[in-house]
Amino acid sequence: MPETTYLDASELMINMGPQHPATHGVLRVKLKLDGERVLGSECVIGYLHRGVEKIAENRTYAQFAPYTDRMDYVAAVTNGMGYVEAVEKLLGVEVPPRAQFTRMVLAELQRLASHLLWLGTHALDLGAMTPVFYTFREREEILKIFEKYCGARLTTHAFRIGGLQYDLYDGLEQDCLKFCEYLLPKIDEYEQLLTKNRIWINRTRGVGVLSAADAIAYGVTGPVLRGSGVKWDIRKVQPYEAYDKVEFDVPTGEHGDTYDRYIVRIQEMRQSVRIVRQCVERLAPGPIFGKVGKVIKPPAGEVYHSIEAPKGELGYFVVSDGTVNPYRVRVRPPSFVNLQALDIMIRGHLVADVVAVIGTLDIVLGEVDR
Amino acid sequence: MDALQKAFPGAIQEAVIFRKMPSITVAKESLLALCHFLRSEAGGAYTLLTDETAVDYPKREKRFDIVYHLYSFERNDRLRLKVLAAAAEPVPSVTEVWPAANWLEREVYDMFGVVYEGHPDLKRILLPDEWVGHPLRKDYDILRQDAAWVKSNLGIESGQ
C-alpha cells in the first residue's frame, strides 16, 4: 500500500481497531477500500510493546523465564518451554526423561488450550455463537490441570532451566487420560457444528488464500503454513525433548484457505490427544532435574533454538558473554511474522473477510508486540 | 561451506560451529549476492528466512552484528549468517531475497537504528514514529524513555 499516497474519489480509508473485538487485542489495520472491497492494508502494531528483550538483558537467566509467559499469554507453557530449552542448549545440559515427557504432556495440553480458544473466538467472529461456550468449557479443564500442577492457570512458569521445579501431583496421569477421553467426542461435536455447516463453508472456503510459495516467502510457519500444503512441523523435522519417541501425524491442507486451516487445527487437536496419551504412558519414575548449578552461568556463545508453538515456529536466539545475565535474548515470535502475510491474504476480499483472516492467522498481540 | 568458499572467495570472514549450529560472518559488500546464492537450488535452497535481528557491541569499531537465521526445507538444515555494521553504516536490505525480512528489518531499525538500503518502507514498527532513541542499544538505559514524547502525547511526567 505505501506506493499510493492519494485516494481516488471512490476509495475510502478506514481504521479497523485498535479497539475492535475481532482484532483479538490491540491491532490496528488501516484498510484502503473501494466500497466493501479491500484494495490494500497496513498493520499498525506496538500498542502492547513492553520491551521484553530489553528486560532480559537486565535479569539473570532464571529471572527472565517468567517474562516469557507474558508474551503469548494464551500459550504460556510452550513459551516457557522454548526459552528453557534454549538456555539448556547453551549450557549443554541433558534433561532427564521424566521431565521431558512431563513437559510434552503439558505442552500438548497447552496446544489444545490454545487451539480451543482459537476455535471458539474464530467461530464467534464469523457469527457462530455456540462453539465459544463449548470450547471455553473444555479449555477450563486443561487450566484446572495446570493449576493443580503448578498453581497458575495462565502464566504458568511451569518449567525451570534444567528440568522441572515440581514433580507430578498424585493423579495427574489419570486427570490427563480422563481429559483425553472427554475431549475426543467434544471435537466431533465441534465438527458437527461447523465442518459441514453451509454458512461456515461459505464464510471460509476460498477466503484468505495463501499459496505455499507465498507462505514460505513471507516466513509463515505453523498451522498456517501446513494449511497451504507444506508438511512441516518442527516436532517432526528437528525433534526436541522426546518428540522423536512418540507417534503422530502432521495434517496438511490443500488450498491454503481459511477452511483448510480450520481443518488442520482440528486435526492437530486430535494428534495432540494422541501425543498426551503416549507421553503419560511413558512417565516412568526418575529424576526431574538435570545437572544445573545453583547459579546459571553459561559459556560465551550463541544459540538459536526453536520449537513448534501452537501458532508456529517460536525461536529464541540467546547470546551469552559468560556472565549470569544474558547479553541478548531475541524472541522470534510466530504471530509477528505470520501477521505480515495479512496484507496479501485480504486483498480483493470484503471487509467482513478481514475478520475471518485475522482470526485464521491466530495471532496474539502480546506476542506480536512483546 | 566449501561451495560457498568457492563461489565467493574472500567473502567469508569467519565460520564457526557452536552447539551444532554453523554460523558464518560475511563481508557486507557480498551479502546480497551471497543471499541470492543461498536461496537458489545450488546454494542449498535456504528459502525460509526465519529470523533477522541484531546484537549491539558498543566497544567494537563496527558495533552491530546483523544476524540472519535461514532454513532449508530440502536439507532440513539451519544456517546463521552475520554481517558487521558500524553505527551509521547502511546495510543492504534482503527484502528482495526474502519478503519476510520487511517487518524484521523494520524492527531492527526501530530497536537499534540500523539503516537498511533498498528497504521498501523503512520506518518504526513497534515504537511511535516520533520516538527519539533506539532502546535495544546497550547505551540506552533500561529506565530511559523519550520524556518529551511521553509528556506531549500522554500528558504525564513519566511512563514509569
Tell me the pairing of strands A37-44 and A312-320: unpaired
Cβ contact (<8 Å) for A92 and B19? yes
Which pLDDT band holds residue B34 (cuts at 50, 70, 90)? confident
Cβ contact (<8 Å) for B100 and A306? no
Mutate to test the interface with B, among A44, A52, A211, A216 (most CBs of B within 10 A): A216
Return the CATH number of the domain spanning residue range B2-154.
3.30.460.80
Cβ contact (<8 Å) for B50 and A306? yes
- Chain B interface residues (partner A, CB cutoff 8 A): 18-19, 21, 23, 47-51, 53, 55-56, 67, 69, 73, 76, 78, 80, 98-100, 102-104, 111, 120-121, 124-128, 135-136, 140, 142
Q: Å from B33 to nearest chain A CA?
A: 18
Q: Which three cell numbers stand for residue A357?
A: 483472516
Mutate to test the interface with A, among B23, B35, B125 (most CBs of A within 10 A): B125
Domain ranges of chain A: 61-369
- Residue by residue, what is the 3-state secondary structure of chain A? CCCCCCCCCCEEEEEECCCCHHHCCCCEEEEEEECCEEEEEEEECCCCCCCHHHHHHCCCHHHHHHHHCCCCCCCHHHHHHHHHHHHHHHHCCCCCHHHHHHHHHHHHHHHHHHHHHHHHHHHHHCCCCHHHHHHHHHHHHHHHHHHHHHCCCCCCCCEECCEECCCCCCCHHHHHHHHHHHHHHHHHHHHHHHCCCHHHHHHHCCCCCCCHHHHHHCCCCCHHHHHCCCCCCHHHHCCCCCHHHCCCCCCCCCCCCHHHHHHHHHHHHHHHHHHHHHHHHCCCCCCCECCCCCCCCCCCEEEEEEEEECCEEEEEEEEECCCCCCCEEEEECHHHHHHCCHHHHHCCCEHHHHHHHHHHHCCCHHHHHC
ipTM of the complex: 0.88
Three-state DSSP class for residue B78: strand
- What tens digit of pLDDT does each residue of A165-186 get? 888 888 888 999 999 999 999 9
Quote the pLDDT of residue B2.
65
Give the CB-side neighbour count of residue A53, counting CA atoms within 13 A: 31
Question: Does residue A6 carry a pLDDT above 60?
Answer: no
Q: What is the pTM of this model?
A: 0.88
Domain ranges of chain B: 2-154
Quote the pLDDT of residue A177.
92
Q: Å from B126 to nearest chain A CA?
A: 4
Angle formed by the axes of helices A258-281 and A97-125, to 10°? 150
Mutate to test the interface with B, among A44, A52, A54, A252 (most CBs of B within 10 A): A54
Cβ contact (<8 Å) for A304 and B80? yes
Question: Does residue A367 carry a pLDDT above 80?
Answer: yes
Q: Å from A329 to nearest chain B CA?
A: 9
Class of domain A61-369 (CATH, top level)? mainly alpha
Q: Å from B6 to nearest chain A CA?
A: 27
Report, as an integer, the average pLDDT of A91-98: 89
Closest alpha carbon to B57 in A328, A191, A251, A362: A328
Which run of H or E residues covers position B102? Answer: helix B101-112
Question: Does residue A69 carry a pLDDT above 70?
Answer: yes
Residues 6+ apart with CB under 8 A from A177: A277, A280
What is the longest distance spanned by two Cα atoms in chain B? 60
B-chain residues near A90 (CB < 8 A): 19
Cβ contact (<8 Å) for B135 and A51? yes
Closest-CA residue of chain B to A1? B121
Report, as an integer, the average pLDDT of A204-229: 91
A-chain residues near B104 (CB < 8 A): 219, 337
Q: Which three cell numbers stand for residue A297?
A: 552461568
What is the longest distance spanned by two Cα atoms in chain A? 71
Lowest mean pLDDT among A25-29, A242-246, B6-10: B6-10
- What tens digit of pLDDT does each residue of A309-350 get? 999 999 999 999 889 999 999 999 999 999 999 999 998 888
- What tens digit of pLDDT does each residue of A131-171 get? 899 999 999 999 999 999 988 888 888 888 988 888 888 88
- What tens digit of pLDDT does each residue of A36-65 get? 888 889 889 988 898 899 999 999 999 999
Cβ contact (<8 Å) for A315 and B51? yes
Touching check for A20 and chain B: CB below 8 Å?
no
